[in-house]
Structure 1
Amino acid sequence: MAQRLRETVALVTGASSGIGEATALQLAADGATVAIAARREDRLDELARKIRDAGAHALVVVADVSDREQAAGCVETTVGELGRLDIVVNNAGQMLLGPVAEQPAEEIDRMLALNLQGLIHVSQAALPHLRSAAQDPPRRVADLVNVSSVAGRRANAGAAVYNATKHGVGAFSEALRQEVTREHVRVSLVEPGAVATELLSHNRPEIQEASARRLGDLDPLRAQDVADAISFVVTRPRHVAVNEVLVRPTEQQQ
């Protein structure tokens, strides 16, 4: 797939670590110019150096996409600096677990604002530009990829709010797909199972310990595995839309 994305521009949110970082590197290797967005500027600067050292181009955009104005600004900065927008990967999110009765309000608010509202804010701001790119060379198709989770397919005790946000991402993605697919804007949902990233480390210590016991010696996905799936989705021919990808570790049962 090398250079299949030449002359395109991709925006990846949540790019400072994990799946977002791996996806930005992969899309750059595929030939895209990549705008990398997140809150942690130092991490973004390091990632931009990696992309540039590999001979590709990167734009650092510091933003918290849970804020509507910053989400819109993230998109407009990308288009203003790079001239177009062909691919958006909505990856920014947090997984804060725990029983509903005990979950701090700030954790609930943060997940709703980032996992769901932030994704919607970015999507809304990006749509005019994706529609425009879908009419123009080099591909005459555009892609919006929303990173969800296995948690968007099934509900589990101890993850109610996270489940709610990811089920919401799935519903939003399918409804939006129906609205724009005839314009050759492809909307895709990527749902990873357990992935070896820092996602769990943002939880309270007791939640981290419980999660580690639950996962046991499971061999998880790597971030690159998910990046490979996203790369596959966005490099399909114009007449092919891969709307949903569920990818689990081989040993994961649920």
Structure 2
Amino acid sequence: MIENKVIVITGASSGIGQAAAVRLAKAGAKVVLSARRVDRLEETVRKIVNEGGHATQFAVDVTAKDDVQSLADFAVKTYGTVDVWINNAGLMPLSFLNKRKLSEWDQMIDVNIKGVLYGIAAALPIMEQQNSGHIINVSSVAGHRVGMGGAVYSGTKFAVRAITEGLRMELSSSSNIRATIISPGMVETELLSTITDEDALSALKSRAASEALQSADIAEAILYAIDQPQRTSVNEILIRPTKQQS
């Protein structure tokens, strides 16, 4: 089911996106890695190619709709189509609302919500034309519950969850295109480094699991969702560390 599928991944320079690219390429997919940090993308592409996989990279700012459309065009020009589009790029600068970190709120909304919408807008015409495809949005447990200091972040992730469910409903009535949302709990990634509010960071650490998930764990969940037969649509995967309570 995975072999020779063309899979576009945003936010692929590190963390979940990078791990997904490596895992999916190992399973036989042709992966298009995108992010802003081109040097990191090139490093991952080299790793994949050296191990016998198929991969390429394209620099993208997901907050720029023209960039995202260019990514879709590049994937089609390079590999002929797009079978799976993974909206993975995201930010998590948690903060208490009274800290008034408006620029961080704007950035989260632009990346976490608009970036997902731009990805859907770029991928859908390709998939509708071929009457097949799969859109996967990487969200968070924060899309199911709100933690202290996470009001805006959770707001963006609740939005992604609503968008994905609406997309699923629309697609299921008229096409063979699948929609999936992956909602991880605490994952050991670079996201914590974006938190500038020490109080919010402390609140997060106080409720964190003693052993976080690894990016590779989420990559396996993504692989599972893609690798199901066409008649099966895995709509949502909620995955927490075993010792995470909330």
TM-score by length of structure 1 reads: 0.92
Partner of 1:47: 44
What is the CA-CA distance between 1:130 and the residue it aligns to? 1.8
Residue identity over aligned pairs, in percent, reads: 38
Q: How do residues 187-226 of structure 1 correspond to structure 2 at under 5 angstroms?
A: 187-204=179-196, 206-207=198-199, 209-211=201-203, 213-215=205-207, 218-226=210-218
What is the CA-CA distance between 1:167 and the residue it aligns to? 0.1
Q: Does 1:119 align with 2:127?
A: no
Partner of 1:138: none
Which residue identity does 2:151 align to in structure 1? A
How big is each residue's C-alpha offset from its partner over 1:172-198, in whole Å with a ceiling of 9 and x where there is no partner?
A: 000011111241100001000000111
Partner of 1:146: 137
Q: In angstroms, what is the RMSD of aligned CA positions?
A: 1.5
Q: How do residues 23-62 of structure 1 correspond to structure 2 at under 5 angstroms?
A: 23-62=20-59
SS of equivalent to 1:183: coil
Q: Does 1:252 align with 2:241?
A: no
More displaced, 199-208 or 216-225?
199-208
Question: How far apart, CA to CA, are the structure 2 residues paired with 1:147 and 1:217?
Answer: 20
Partner of 1:137: none
SS of equivalent to 2:8: strand
Partner of 1:168: 159
Cα contact 1:85–1:133 (8 A) shared by 2: no
- Determine which of 78, 83, 97 is the counterpart of 2:80: 83
What is the CA-CA distance between 1:203 and the residue it aligns to? 1.4
Q: Does 1:102 align with 2:102?
A: no
Q: How do residues 232-243 of structure 1 correspond to structure 2 at under 5 angstroms?
A: 232-243=224-235
Query: Where does structure 1 lack aligned partners over 5 or more consecutive residues?
Result: 135-140
What is the CA-CA distance between 1:7 and the residue it aligns to? 2.4
What is the CA-CA distance between 1:211 and the residue it aligns to? 4.9
Query: Where does structure 2 lack aligned partners over 5 or more consecutive residues?
Result: none
More displaced, 213-222 or 237-246?
213-222
More displaced, 43-52 or 72-81?
72-81
Question: How far apart, CA to CA, are the structure 2 residues paired with 1:200 and 1:253?
Answer: 19
How big is each residue's C-alpha offset from its partner over 1:126-169, in whole Å with a ceiling of 9 and x where there is no partner?
A: 001122344xxxxxx42110000000001123111100000000
